[in-house]
Every structure is written in C-alpha cells, then in structure tokens.
Amino acid sequence: MSCPLCDSPGGTLLWRDDLCRIVLADEPDYPGFLRVILNAHIKEMTDLSVADQQRLLQVVLAAESALREVMAPDKINLASLGNVVPHLHWHVIPRFADDPHFPNPVWGVKQRGTPHAASSDLDAQLAVELNRQLARAREME
Ligand SMILES: [Zn+2]
C-alpha cells in the first residue's frame, strides 16, 4: 500500500537526519506549520527503541523552540494523530489568537478567514533556527 510520507518528503524539507525530518507543511492558513516525520514507516511511538523515542521528542521540542524564536506565537500545538496516515509524524503548529481556528484545534470549526501574517522568507528563517536548536541539543547530550 502506498504511503504519502514514504513516497514524498511531505512538505518543504527544512532539516533531516538518519531518524527523521522536519518539513514546512503546505498549509496556507498556517504559516510555520511544521511536521516532524519519522523516516521509517512505523506506526506508534512505542514501536521505537527508547533512544529513538527520546531523539524524536528532542527534535519535536527543537521545532517548538525554533517556532517560538522565529514567530513568537501565542501558543504551540503539538499533535500526533496518524489515523489517516499511520506513519509516525508530529504536528508542531504555531497558533495565534487571530488565526483562522483559534481557540479551536486547526482541524476544528473555523472562526475567521485570514491567516496570521508571516514574512515571505519564513522557511529560510525557520531552517536557520532549526539547525541552531538541533546543534544546541546535540551539544547538551
Ligand atoms: Zn510511510
């Protein structure tokens, strides 16, 4: 069976290592919407070794830190669902009080039409900050 996260990067690739990758999702309502995607087709966190669980969460937290640094959102939403695509991935979503669904989940009922404004070189800014955060995470090991 084909899997969209095995068949393609799943967004604009900002960072990757042997375990996982960080992509900027193609979500026009949500500039800065990141996904941390395991490279291997594995379904649940508890299917990973403890070391890989910890590394994956470290990358998720680095993505959160990068978003806070670059976009200063009102809130970060972390979610791992995988009901539609059972290939481990985490959504790391910067939320703003004026974004289309706030305070609902981004998959909930829309409250307004206009996305929160973001700079045009957001992908480059996030890539720089992700590399900085992940280099720092490595140093602290
Ligand atoms: Zn897959």
Q: What is the CA radius of gyration of the chain?
A: 15
Quote the number of domains for the chain: 1
Q: Could you tell me the residue range of the domain that residue 96 belongs to?
A: 4-139
Whole-number Å distance, alpha carbon 92 to ligand 1 midpoint, is 19
Whole-number Å distance, alpha carbon 4 to ligand 1 midpoint, is 6
Q: State the burial class of residue 108 (Cβ atoms within 10 Å of its Cβ: 0-12, 13-18, 19+).
A: exposed
Whole-number Å distance, alpha carbon 111 to ligand 1 midpoint, is 33
Whole-number Å distance, alpha carbon 56 to ligand 1 midpoint, is 16
pLDDT digits (tens, 9 = 90+) for 4-39: 999 999 999 999 999 999 999 999 999 999 999 999
Which residues of the chain fall below pLDDT 70? none
Contacts of residue 10, Cβ cutoff 8 Å, sequence gap at least 6: 4, 21, 23, 25, 35, 37, 89
Whole-number Å distance, alpha carbon 47 to ligand 1 midpoint, is 14
Tell me what pLDDT residue 114 has.
87
Tell me what pLDDT residue 136 has.
87
Tell me what pLDDT residue 9 has.
96
Tell me what pLDDT residue 128 has.
97
Query: How far apart are the C-alpha atoms of 83 and 139, rounded to whole Å?
Result: 35
Query: Taking Cα atoms as reference points, which of 94, 90, 1 lies closest to residue 37?
Result: 90
Tell me what pLDDT residue 130 has.
97
In CATH, what number is assigned to the domain containing residue 52?
Answer: 3.30.428.10
